Amino acid sequence: MTAVIVTGGKQYKVTEGDIIYIEKLECGEGDVITFDNVLAIVDGENSKFGAPAISGANVTGRVIKNGRGKKITVIKFKAKKNYRRKQGHRQPYTKIQIETIAG
């Protein structure tokens, strides 16, 4: 069974047992999260599509950890003007394992 969920302004295609990295949620390790905004559920030949979401459908997952991604470097540079700026950024994330898809 496969589902498409929305969280953090992004859409994720998930199946049971998947591990996904999503935008950081305010929750601790081991907490159970329920995603109610399910756009589609596909189970073999049985498919349900919402307009925009399927009412009564949900996907549950368990938080494995909260962390920060690898550092990226942002550089601003203007030629011949002696203007240089270097800045680093680490995006926070929440690592989740999908447990059940209901709908």
One DSSP character per residue, 41-91 reads: EEETTEEEE-SSS-TT-EEEEEEEEEEE---EEEEEEETTTTEEEEEEE--
How many angstroms separate the CA atoms of 86 and 74, rounded?
6
Half-sphere exposure of 76 (CA within 13 A, CB side): 4
**5-53 pLDDT per residue, tens:** 999 999 999 999 999 999 999 999 999 999 999 999 999 899 999 999 9
Structural domain span for residue 58: 2-102
Average pLDDT of every residue of the chain = 96
Instruction: Tell me: pLDDT of 99 over 90.
Output: yes
Number of structural domains in the chain: 1
First to last CA, the chain: 10
